[in-house]
Each structure stands twice: as structure tokens, then as C-alpha cells.
Amino acid sequence: MFHRNGNALSAVTARGGVCVSAQASLRPIASESPTAEAWQHRVALCLPRELCGMSSRRELTEIGPDTDALRAEERSGILFDLGLGLLQIDGFVRTTDPAVAAALRRHVGKSVFATDSGAMGVIFHASPHRVFVSRVGRVEVFGPIPPPDGKSPDGPHTHVLPKLLAHGRTHAATEPLPSGWAPCAHCYPPNPVRDGQGGKRPFFDRTSHFAFFALLEQYGDTERLALKKRLIHAVAAGLEPFTITTDGDRFSRATVRVTLRQLQALGGQSATLPAWLAAYDRTENPQDDAAPERSRPHLSIVGADRK
């Protein structure tokens, strides 16, 4: 169930919660990227880089009680900043267990990734709540942390990947965001070819497809949207490939590939669509495919708990 408090909208389930707060400078940016077989889409909730900064701590730090916790019973829980060193996100663990808090205190002042820090061992063993906070809201995850060789649970879960964090990126290189803006949260509206768990849908969900197209019209990049529309009209008219011009950047190429795949999924009648796909949707340059969405730190807002 959603709850509104002033400019904040929140939802909490037994496995996690999310809160988003409206900001005067908040800018939603909708975009699409090709994946290995289909495409991904999202809406990034962005702030100017100069307004999105958090603490950027790099050592485990005790913060104190989490007075902003989404559930009242968690507000006495002690927050420990993991020290991930990110620009727009602070990552914490939260515990109400005095023994776990005492164990974490022994590693305060060190990087959680340092070889002489046992903080991660404490966290994996105790599965404290994980809390990620940005200027636009917070995400809380209550579920257990699986063992290294285990499977992530359905629904809310977290990944802390040191090799990716070391790049210091605010978002994936394949996500087309304008210079000077940083995503502080991401929303993932229903995908027409993938279900909420990432599995393949048994049918193409036209409602989801056109709902996201409306978001692109409102919040997408105007030049890429214009390219998408020109391509749709060209294919529908039976024109041959290369009869419309595209600039050569990776995001324009991605727009073309996604659009052609969508036209194929829609099942429209076009004698030249196979030729367009053959000309433009080749995987000779795999770096154009979207990296997994976990390839950059963010708050992921995927709706209410699914089960």
C-alpha cells in the first residue's frame, strides 16, 4: 500500500520498502537500450550533479539511529555507512541487534573491502537490513543475503560489486543521460517482452509497450525520439534501409536497434523490415548492447513487492 506524506510517496512490504521525495530540480529521463535478445527501458530520476552529492564516505562509519526508517519499529536501529564512496548514493546496513552492532563497531574506520576488515563477514552472516539513500529518497531491503554460491531471492535484494564500484561511475555507459545530470533513482515500468522477474513473457504486451512510448514522448530525448518516429514511418512505408540518416553515436544506433526489434515484436506488415534488421541489428559490436542494470549504483524502484 502506498502512503503519501507531503512531497514524499512511500510503499513498504514484508520484504522491503521505497520512498521517493519530489525535488524542485528533479528531472525524469526515459530511455531504452538493447540487450542481448530484446531491450530494457527505464526512467531515471535525475538531479544536476552539483545538487546530488551525498557523503561519499570510504570507510565503515557508525551513523546512529535511523530516524527516517520507513517502519516505525526500525527507527531505533543503528545505521552503519558502508563507505562505498559513491557520488549520489549512500549505502548503509541497519541493525537492531546489539551483538551485530558491536561486531561492526570493531571494523569502523576501515574500508569494508580491506583485507584486514571483517565487516563483510559480519554482514553476510547477520543479514542486517540494507538501506540506500539519495537526495530523492531511499530503498530498504529486509530479506536475507544469500551465500556467495546461492541464488538471489525474488523481490527486493542487493548487490555490492567492488569491481564495478571501483569505476566510480554514476550510471552505465550505455544509458543515454545528458551531461551534468546524475540518476538518483531508477523506475522500471513493465517491459512488454520481460516479466517482473526478468523472464520472457509468453506474449508481447502491447499495453506496456505503448505506455512506455508515452513516457518517451514526455520525458525522452527529443532527437532520439524523432529518429525513432522517422524509422517507424520509413519501415511502415516499405522504404529500403539507409533511406533515413542517423548520426553515428552509440545511442542513435541503440535507438535504431531497439525500434526495429519493437516493430518485429509488434508483428506489423512490412516487406522491408527484414532488410532493416539485417542492415542495422547486427551484434558485431557487442559493446553497444546494454550492460546489466546493476552495472552502476542506483536506487531501483520496480513497484510493489510481487509475491
pLDDT in tens, the chain (307 residues): 677 777 889 999 999 999 999 888 999 999 999 999 899 999 999 999 999 999 999 999 999 999 999 999 999 999 999 999 999 999 999 999 999 999 999 999 999 999 999 999 999 999 999 999 999 999 999 988 887 777 777 778 887 877 778 878 888 888 999 999 999 999 999 999 998 877 899 999 999 999 999 999 999 999 999 999 999 999 999 999 988 877 678 899 999 999 999 999 999 789 999 999 999 987 544 444 444 444 344 444 443 343 3
Q: What is the predicted pLDDT for the residue at 249?
A: 84
Which pLDDT value is given to residue 146?
Answer: 82
Cβ burial 53-81 (10 Å sphere, 16+ → b, else e): ebeebbbbbeeeebeebbeeebeebbbbb
Residue type (1 letter), 131:
V
Q: Specify the pLDDT at position 287.
A: 42
Spatial contact of 80 and 61, defined as CB atoms under 8 Å apart:
yes
- Helix and strand numbers (H, E) in the chain are 7, 12
Three-state SS for 122? helix
If one counts the domains in the chain, the total is: 1
On whether residue 110 sits in a domain, the answer given is no
Closest C-alpha among 255, 180, 197, 201 to residue 223: 255
192 found inside a domain: yes
- Side-chain-side CA neighbours of 187 within 13 Å: the count stands at 19
Instruction: Determine, yes or no, domain membership for 193.
Output: yes
Measured distance between the N- and C-terminal CA atoms of the chain, rounded to whole angstroms: 14
The pLDDT value recorded for residue 107 is: 97
- Position 5 in a domain: yes
Stated as kind and residue range, the H or E segment containing 195 is: none
Q: Quick check: helix, strand or coil at residue 134?
A: strand
299 assigned to some structural domain: yes
- Residue 282 CB partners (closer than 8 Å, separation 6+): none
61 belongs to a structural domain: no
Taking the C-alpha atoms of residue 128 and residue 131, their distance in angstroms, rounded to an integer, is 9
- Whether residue 160 is contained in a domain is answered as no
pLDDT in the model for residue 283: 55
| pTM for the predicted model, two decimal places | 0.86
Q: What is the per-residue pLDDT for 285?
A: 44
Alpha helices in the chain, H assignment, sequence order: 98-105, 119-126, 162-165, 206-219, 222-236, 250-266, 273-280
What CA–CA distance (Å, rounded) separates 152 from 267? 35
- Are 142 and 95 in contact by the 8 Å Cβ rule? The answer is no
Assess if residue 80 is contained within a domain. Answer: no
Domain encompassing residue 286 = 1-49+175-307
